[in-house]
Chain A
Amino acid sequence: DTGVSQDPRHKITKRGQNVTFRCDPISEHNRLYWYRQTLGQGPEFLTYFQNEAQLEKSRLLSDRFSAERPKGSFSTLEIQRTEQGDSAMYLCASSLTGGLDQPQHFGDGTRLSIL
């Protein structure tokens, strides 16, 4: 168990640029989640995958956000035309299939700063 890995750990970019983050889940985990966390708040659900299928997206996820998990392994989260309000920590988590009773294993996140 090598844990959930996220890359990069930090990303600084100018407003209007596109950014892409990568998440490598624990290898035997079928479910993969993306969250956004701002200072003083808990993780806010963005989207989740069961294998390669994206099964739910938060209504908070604007059209500028897109996520993929092409082969059911790693996932990418892309933000297009970044805005100041996108500055946050983006967390990835994975879990075993079996339902929402399974604990999630989190990566250390990607901290995005918009200049």
Chain B
Amino acid sequence: AQSVAQPEDQVNVAEGNPLTVKCTYSVSGNPYLFWYVQYPNRGLQFLLKYITGDNLVKGSYGFEAEFNKSQTSFHLKKPSALVSDSALYFCAVSWRGGYQKVTFGTGTKLQVIP
């Protein structure tokens, strides 16, 4: 089985401050990890992924994420938040050899305060 947890329903951060959105996962093998962003009444947009290699992954719009195998985490980060980053963020996991599907977390609402 595979699962992903986003422990925070909402994260508030002041504009210009660094942000972190947390994600932990559980899979039977080596994970494929993804972050997506969703704006109101829109579909999900891909931000970044970890498949293998360097634990620090850089993605779109200045976002990055750090894979930590020992803590089974894949937290999303950005050095300086923008008001336009306010949206719903989803972490997702799959793994080679697992079920042919991706499992999404319940989402974290990011609110960047001007």
Could you list which residues of chain A lie within 8 angstroms of chain B, going by C-beta atoms?
4, 6, 33, 40-45, 48, 55-56, 58, 91, 93, 99-101, 103-109, 111
A43, A45, A48, A55 interface centre (most CB from chain B within 10 Å): A43
A100 interface neighbour in B36, B44, B102, B106, Cβ under 8 Å:
B102
**How many A-B contacts if CB must be within 8 Å?**
65
Contacts of A44 in B (CB 8 A): 104
Judging by beta carbons under 8 Å apart, are B96 and A109 in contact? no
The 4 closest A-B pairs by CB, nearest first: A106-B43, A42-B104, A100-B94, A103-B46
Q: A45-B103, A101-B51, A103-B46 are in contact. List 16 more A-B contacts (CB 8 A).
A: A42-B104, A42-B107, A43-B90, A45-B101, A45-B102, A48-B101, A56-B101, A99-B96, A100-B95, A100-B101, A100-B102, A101-B96, A104-B102, A106-B36, A108-B41, A109-B41
Judging by beta carbons under 8 Å apart, are B46 and A41 in contact? no
Given contacts A56-B99, A100-B32, contact A43 B44 (CB under 8 A): yes
Judging by beta carbons under 8 Å apart, are B49 and A101 in contact? yes
Contacts of B32 in A (CB 8 A): 100-101
